[in-house]
Amino acid sequence: MLEPRSALAAVYRPGQLGVIHRPAVVAISERRGRALVQLSGWPGSFESVCDRLERRLDMPVPRDCRGATECADLSIFRVGPERLWLAARAHDARLQGIDAASFGEDAVVTELGHSRTVLRITGSSARALLNRGLPVDLDDAAFPVGAFVQSAIHHVPVLVYRNGAAGDCALDAYVPREYSVTFWEWLTEHAASLGGLVGEPE
């Protein structure tokens, strides 16, 4: 099976950015090979859909649009009142079992595939880097592990998630594929001014 080509393939160059710090105060890497499935439904039945999904996956489903849940690299975001995103590694068997027939007429399952580029930003200056364009308080008290927000950076729509599975202050940014290069240019330019590192793709 052919693997989709990264939207950043032409511009992604691992290495130092700007002033060299050891360790780097901010590191950026692309999380390739990610799959994304959207599950949406209707007000009268969506909570029962969430209950069924919890039983199927054996993990909790978020009940609000502020926090995500994660288990073994499967993340669930409630991106709207009756809409979930399920993100995991490509070919994760748990996602393969969720399809149009899984919930009948109570929900619509849409394979979003590689419509988003996923970038991981880590390091002591990760928050400072994103806050150069993100109008959201990323301090621990306001944005704890598991929190996510949908906003815009440099006019690019983005979902930013504080991923607790990757150590302290790991922020994952989900960016529409068509804006990936624009966002990448903004991100690496500002990371260079702090002194950063582009890591090998994950």
Note the pLDDT tens digit of each residue in 138-192: 999 999 999 999 999 999 999 999 987 656 689 999 999 999 999 999 999 999 9
The answer on pLDDT for 116 being more than 80 is: yes
Would you identify the CATH topology of the domain 16-32+115-198? Gyrase A; domain 2 (3.30.1360)
Query: What confidence score (pLDDT) does residue 5 get?
Result: 87
Query: What confidence score (pLDDT) does residue 113 get?
Result: 81
**pLDDT tens-digit series, residues 29-70:** 999 999 999 999 999 899 999 999 999 999 999 999 999 999
Domains 16-32+115-198 and 34-111 agree in fold: no
Q: What is the mean pLDDT of residues 112-133?
A: 94
Spans of all domains in the chain: 16-32+115-198, 34-111
Phi/psi-derived region of residue 18, left when phi > 0, alpha when psi is between -120 and 50, beta in every other case: left
CA dist., res. 152 & res. 60, Å (int): 28
The architecture in CATH of the region 34-111 reads 2-Layer Sandwich (3.30)
* Residue 160 · residue 147 · CB < 8 Å: no
Residue 127's alpha-carbon distances to 2, 73, 74, 116, 130, in angstroms, are 36, 22, 23, 21, 5
CA dist., res. 26 & res. 194, Å (int): 8
Tokens 């590192």 -> residue: 197
**pLDDT tens-digit series, residues 75-107:** 999 999 999 999 999 889 998 888 878 888 899
Query: What confidence score (pLDDT) does residue 2 get?
Result: 56
Q: Model confidence at 3, in pLDDT bands (50, 70, 90)?
A: low
CA dist., res. 103 & res. 109, Å (int): 8
